[in-house]
Amino acid sequence: MNHLIAPSILSADFANLKKDILMLNNSEADWIHVDVMDGLFVPNISFGFPVMAAVKNYALKPLDVHLMIVDPDRYLEAFKNAGANIITVHYEACTHLDRTIHKIKELGCKAGVALNPHTPVGLLENIIEEIDMVLIMSVNPGFGGQKFIHNTYNKIQKLRAIANEKNPALLIEVDGGVSSHNSLALLKAGANVLVAGNAIFGAEDPVHAISEMKKLSPDLFQV
């Protein structure tokens, strides 16, 4: 499969979010990444259901919703109803991860699991066959614009090795500090979904920045 680009609207212009969503509709972006923060699991607060619903009114691309919240099970159906196509929960926030994954799938969404930088990928080995996507955090979650953590490459390689044996179709998404400087290395390591915020919305021409990321060699993803 070709890799996917999921621009993060955490870096969009909140005063003119409609304009940025329409821009993404007309770009080569595959998904729109929505970071939801509750001020508890991470020290920041971002989007809630009203903003999600407003984004969905204009978005023509699937909404890739990353829940950085405690007890996400309480809100899975609400986020589905607000327009989520992919719902990713944090391993660190889920006591009964298997149940959470199956609930997401019952709602008709793709199910993802996010790992913080300190969390080993091996902890997913017993559930990886049930997951559609793993999101590797390459910064500590909570704020945009942070410095990329170099150990991310090792984690992606280890996860891809596990996936090749147990779930070859697994999507590996990377979020945090993704830019034109490291995108190709991330893809070579085994990632196939790139989340980028500042690298896209901070570019002089965001549509061109997305196109350049999308052009990276697709044959890297033959497993």
The residues annotated with a catalytic role in the active site are 35, 175
Strand order in 193-196's β-sheet? 4-7, 193-196, 171-175, 133-137, 110-115, 84-90, 63-68, 32-37
- Written as six digits, the tokens of 69 are 């919240």
Rounded Cα gap, residues 34 and 131, in angstroms: 19
Query: What size, in residues, is the chain?
Result: 223
Closest CA to 186 of 86, 178, 210, 76: 178
Contact call for residues 58 and 87 (beta carbons, < 8 A)? no
Kindly write down the DSSP assignment for every residue of 128-173, as one continuous string: GGG-SEEEEESS-TT-SSPPPPTTHHHHHHHHHHHHHHH-TT-EEE
- Under the phi-then-psi rule, with left for phi > 0, alpha for psi from -120 to 50, and beta for the rest, what region is 102? alpha
Q: What are the distances in angstroms from CA 83 to CA 37, 88, 120, 152?
A: 17, 14, 31, 30
End-to-end Cα distance, the chain: 9
